[in-house]
Structure 1
Amino acid sequence: MNVLVIGATGYIGAAAAAALARAGHEVAALRRPDGGAPPDGVRAVAGDLADPASLAGAAEGFDRVVHAGPPLGAEIDLAGADALAATGVPVLWTTGAAVLGGGRADEDSPPDPHPLVSWRAEVERRVLAAGGQVIRPGMVYGNGGGLVPGLLARKAAERGTGVYIGEPGVRWPVVHVDDLAALYVAVLERAGPGTVWHGVGETVRLDAIAAALGGGRAASWPLEEARAELGALADLFTRDQEVSSERTRSLLGWRPVHTSLLDRLGERSGAAPV
């Protein structure tokens, strides 16, 4: 297929674009005038995620659009979803586990989004109604990117111990970026229209991640203190979730190969990426 990837210069989008190219698809990257260069072998197509009207022209002539860009807010994201839907080109849109509520959830669970991304449930609805597809990744890690080597590792270094926000025992769905990239290929090649898929490799306790980053030691970062620095993002760290990807694995044959974040953290050397 001829695929346009939105966000191809970012963390998730670059991995998705590379995986699609390896699978034999012709891949192009949306690129704003002052944007970075696309990955090797990927041509650039003019457009700007922050300018929803430009997306319709950018999508012209493509078989599929993969949206792996960051959330930009309700007004821009909803307008972007509508602009792409109007082209008739099927869209695979990335949201995330934050669109689900606490506790156990699967691909059929109704959205109950965290206030930080409240509008993404409506984005999903519009994309699915237009015959597109949705991928909901867990917390993405791997290859030196994501929250683990970023915020969490930085806080562990600052405080001399691993930190988690609020009470212990909060669980998060996680996925390695390479496994998530493989899921984009599987959805584009094998999934039907109007479907939701979960990119979750495993469920991990955040206090266990903190302990692994802190050399076996972890302490709570009080929620009010975390809010003062992180804003609404701090509350997201207190949402306990167990998100199933059983249907995604069964129907698409998706098999994550990176299935132990804690083992990877335990094996890393000082400068080695997670």
Structure 2
Amino acid sequence: MNVLVIGATGFIGSAAAAALAKAGHEVSVLQRAGDRRATDHRPVPGDLTDPASLQRAATGFDRVVHAGPPLGESLDLAGVDALVTAGGPLVCTTGAGVLGSGTTDEDSEPDPHPVVAWRAEVERRVRTAGGRVIRPGMAYGEGGGSVPRLLAAKAAERGTGVYIGEPGVRWPVVHVADLAELYVAVVERAEPGTVWHGMSETVRLDDVARALGGGTATSWPLEEALADMGPVAGLYTLDQDVSSDKTRRLLDWTPRHTSLIAHLKAPGRRV
């Protein structure tokens, strides 16, 4: 298929673009005017902050994969509307934050954290138009992933692992290479109007902190984290056990990297 990838210079988008190309698809990437070409894929001019340019860029593709960063409610909704109007079936990335705390799966209704509240409406618009939604867990591997890097930096700064709030908070996680294979499966085989989960396992955030801290960890009080990081710190206290069983079964998706803790403890590992 002829596929446009939005966010192809980012952590997830670059992996998805590479996996799609490896699978034999013709991959083009959105590129802002004036930016230096950053990938080997064909650039298509467009800007996430300019919905009209998104509509022009996305016209004529068999699939449009949106793995760009969230920019806020007004820009994200306008961007999705523009991509839907372009007519190419959309594969849109949201995330586990769109789900509430506790145990959830692909059929659970969104209950988003306030920091990403509008993403539920993004999903609704994409699905209504016949698009597909991918909700990744916290992505790691290949030296990327904002959460592992942040926690690693805090561990280095304090001399011990650091987690936010109370111990025991669970997070769904996924290696970026496995997540990239899920994008290929969704592009090739997913039915219109569906939601898919990219989670390989559930981990405790304090266990992640201990692995990064050489066996020790301490709590960073939420009030202090909020003062340092802003409202996004609240996401680190969202306790979630998110199933991807339906995705694995229906799309034959089998993650190969199934232990974040082992990854973090491996000699010479890159967070």
Q: Could you state the TM-score of these two structures normalised by the residue count of structure 1? A: 0.97
Q: Offset at 1:150?
A: 1.4
**RMSD over equivalenced CA pairs, Å:** 0.9
Change beyond 3 A, Cα 1:36–1:237: farther
Q: Is the 8 A contact 1:9 1:36 kept in 2?
A: no
Question: What's the counterpart of residue 198 of structure 1?
Answer: 197
Aligned to 1:91: 90
1:22 is matched with which residue? Answer: 22
Q: Aligned letter for 1:273?
A: R
Question: How far is the alpha carbon of 1:60 from its aligned partner?
Answer: 1.5
Task: Decide whether aligned partners of structure 1 residues 148 and 113 sit closer, same or farther in structure 2, where only a CA change above 3 A counts.
Answer: closer
Equivalent in the alignment of 1:259: 258
- 1:7 and 2:7 aligned: yes
* SS of equivalent to 1:145: coil
Shift, 1:233, TM fit: 1.2
Q: How many Å apart are 1:36 and its aligned residue?
A: 4.4
Answer yes or no: is the 8 Å Cα contact 2:59–2:87 preserved in 1.
no
Aligned residues: 271
- Label 1:238 to 1:37 Cα distance change in 2 as closer, same or farther (>3 A): same
Shift of 1:33: 1.4
Matched, 1:112 2:98: no
For 2:153 and 2:68, locate their aligned partners in 1 and report how far apart those are by CA, in whole Å: 24
Query: Unpaired segments of 5 or more residues in structure 1?
Result: none
Counterpart of 1:63 in structure 2 is 62
CA–CA separation in structure 2 for the residues paired with 1:113 and 1:101: 6
Deviations 1:139-169 (Å, cap 9, x if unpaired)?
0111111134410000000000000000000
1:208 is matched with 207
Percent of aligned pairs sharing the same letter: 70
Asked if the contact 1:29/1:38 (under 8 Å) is kept, the reply is no
**2:106·2:195 contact (CA, 8 Å) conserved in 1?**
yes
Is residue 150 of structure 2 the alignment partner of residue 187 of structure 1?
A: no
- Work out the CA distance in 1 between the residues paired with 2:51 and 2:156: 40
Q: CA deviation at 1:53?
A: 1.2
Q: What TM-score, normalized to structure 2?
A: 0.98
SS at match of 1:174: strand
Matched with 1:53 is 52
| 1:220-241 deviations in Å (ceiling 9; x for gaps) | 0011111110111111100100
Name the structure 2 match of 1:225: 224
Give the C-alpha shift of residue 85 in structure 1: 1.1
- On the 8 A contact 1:28/1:44 being kept in 2, the answer is yes
Residues in 2 aligned to 1:20 and 1:221: alpha-carbon distance in whole angstroms: 40
Q: How far apart are 1:130 and its partner, in Å?
A: 0.2
Partner of 2:270: 273
Check the 8 A contact 2:110/2:120 in 1, yes or no.
yes
The one-letter code of the counterpart of 2:183 is Y
Unpaired runs of 5+ in structure 2? Answer: none
SS, match of residue 47 in structure 2: coil
Aligned to 2:170: 171
Farther off after superposition, 143-152 or 91-100: 143-152
Q: Distance in 2 between matches of 1:37 and 1:172?
A: 35
2-side partners of 1:71 and 1:26: how far apart?
Answer: 25
